[in-house]
Amino acid sequence: AKNVGILAMEIYFPPTFVQQEALEAHDGASKGKYTIGLGQDCLAFCTEVEDVISMSLTVVTSLLEKYQIDPKQIGRLDVGSETVIDKSKSIKTFLMQIFEKCGNTDIEGVDSTNACYGGTAALFNCVNWVESSSWDGRYGIVVCTDSAVYAEGPARPTGGAAAIAMLIGPDAPIAFESKLRGSHMSHVYDFYKPNLASEYPVVDGKLSQTCYLFALDTCYKYFCHKYEKLEGKQFSLSDADYFVFHSPYNKLVQKSFARLLFNDFMRNASSIDDIAKEKLGPFSSLTGDESYQSRDLEKASQQVSKPLYDAKVQPTTLIPKQVGNMYTASLYAAFASLLHNKNSGLAGKRVLLFSYGSGLTATLFSLRLHEGQHPFSLSNIATVMDVAGKLKSRHEFPPEKFVETMKLMEHRYGANDFVTSKDCSLLSPGTYYLTEVDSKYRRFYAKK
Ligand code: ACO
């Protein structure tokens, strides 16, 4: 199979959200801390009738319907998620309900988990299957689904929720450049979920920021090295048209791109102009460790990279800013934002994606885009996802209601023997929702 990659995409996020500006005031944070300091606009969250399973049921059903894919045509289904509802039964098995009723139980794949990286692991597994000798000619589906919730405190505004489904196959408009990849994996306690009775992570925020940037630097080094070996020339920011980052909050994305430019400067890449050389010059003698601590470097590199950021990164930031951190779905929601903003204009472009999962696992990889044939075309994917329509039809909740929902969900997490309100009035038609968890912890869903 040639040009294996993403043929089609669909995204779902809950219609319920809070404004970061309102949350800021409610939390007693200084004005601008969440909106400018973190760079976030809104935070989407699941109410008691939605969870990672309902969102993934919704998004997979919608993907199949909107691209008119016969469920029998699916031969593999991989799920990435870090939202644990069951320690043994995979989310993938819940999704089998969609396929079983069409007589298809011949579907490989289960769930992949490591913080926000599980979706990328699932995607690589699925792409590898299509490229392998075990491929049977059918399509694969990759689902990224997460509800990101934090305990009260500085991390809470970096929550979010969404599910994304991607159809995988050959001759894709979004094709992998599989040889162009750099990974960095290591043992760190920056963000983890050791308390199995709680949905909330244990998080060392500052450490997680440094780990993220260090992983980015390291992946970029390996990536550049591989590119140089293959192409016989230096790689620099000018060799890719867009950069998509895992987006816990937008400020980290701004810092990340600035960091890549600093990497180019340190490697003396030809793409660095004289102004950048002059502004970054004073930082060339910093040690690696010092470079992560230097506020002046952060400021200078962000300033120098601003015009390039506006061109190569800003078009990827819409959904992450509007929805928040979607964990495994975050990187792909950023990529969906790019498709939404540029669609057909992306034909012929190279896009680099940086996936980061705390703990930690990270990969920088490359995609090459082509317009493709209907229904698997860049313009049709943008139309089907209808990002603008979905954002517009949301319902704003006051922070008090958000906090109240978080409290209720704390009790519901891991609980059994309850029915939900079954109130699906805010959900759009076709959305799945949770109705009941019985005394044997079995979960039941209905479709609006
Ligand atoms: N106006 C403008 N900016 C402000 C204001 C204000 N009134 N007040 C603060 N800020 C800025 C700060 O200067 C800082 O920006 P900077 O980094 O450019 O200096 C930013 O707002 C954040 O404020 P801090 O005090 O540095 O950090 P805080 O204690 O609020 O925590 C953090 C932020 C660490 C991101 C926290 O939200 C967190 O732990 N989140 C979860 C972990 C996370 O997402 N890590 C990222 C990678 S791992 C993953 O994806 C889960």
Taking only the tens place, the pLDDT of each residue in 418-436 is 999 999 999 999 999 999 9
- Mean of pLDDT values over 19-34: 98
Q: Which atom of ligand 1 is nearest to the CA of 190?
A: 48
- Please count the CA atoms within 13 angstroms of the CA of 157 that sit on its side-chain side: 27
142 C-beta neighbours (distance < 10 Å), count = 29
- Mean of pLDDT values over 337-348: 97
Tokens at 55, concatenated: 């969102």
Q: What percent of the chain has pLDDT over 90?
A: 98
Query: What is the value of pTM for the model shown?
Result: 0.98
- Mean of pLDDT values over 205-223: 98
Q: Buried (b) or exposed (e) across 266-287, using 16+ Cβ within 10 A?
A: eeebeebeeebeeebeebeebe
Q: 251: CA distance to ligand 1 center in Å?
A: 8
Q: 293: CA distance to ligand 1 center in Å?
A: 15
Residue whose CA is at the smallest distance from ligand 1 atom 24: 37
Per-residue pLDDT reduced to its tens digit, 385-412: 999 999 999 999 999 999 999 999 999 9
Three state DSSP letters for 289-355: HHHHHCHHHHHHHHHHHHHHHHHHCHHHCHHHHHHCCCHHHHHHHHHHHHHHHHHHHHCCCEEEEEE
Per-residue pLDDT reduced to its tens digit, 359-391: 999 999 999 999 999 999 999 999 999 999 999
Q: What is the ipTM of this complex?
A: 0.98
Q: 306 CB contacts (<8 Å, ≥6 apart)?
A: none
Per-residue pLDDT reduced to its tens digit, 102-161: 999 999 999 999 999 999 999 999 999 999 999 999 999 999 999 999 999 999 999 999
Location of structure tokens 């319907």: 65
Query: What Cα–Cα distance (Å) separates residue 188 from each residue in 185, 328, 377, 380?
Result: 9, 19, 40, 41
Q: Is the pLDDT of residue 271 over 90?
A: no
- Predicted local confidence at residue 268, as pLDDT: 84
Residue 404 annotated in active site: no
- Predicted local confidence at residue 269, as pLDDT: 81
Residue 116 annotated in active site: yes
Per-residue pLDDT reduced to its tens digit, 34-72: 999 999 999 999 999 999 999 999 999 999 999 999 999
Q: Which atom of ligand 1 is nearest to the CA of 358?
A: 48
Q: 355: CA distance to ligand 1 center in Å?
A: 20
For all residues of the chain together, what is the average pLDDT? Answer: 97
Confidence class for position 199, pLDDT limits 50, 70, 90: very high
Tokens at 90, concatenated: 């995979």
Residue 396 annotated in active site: no
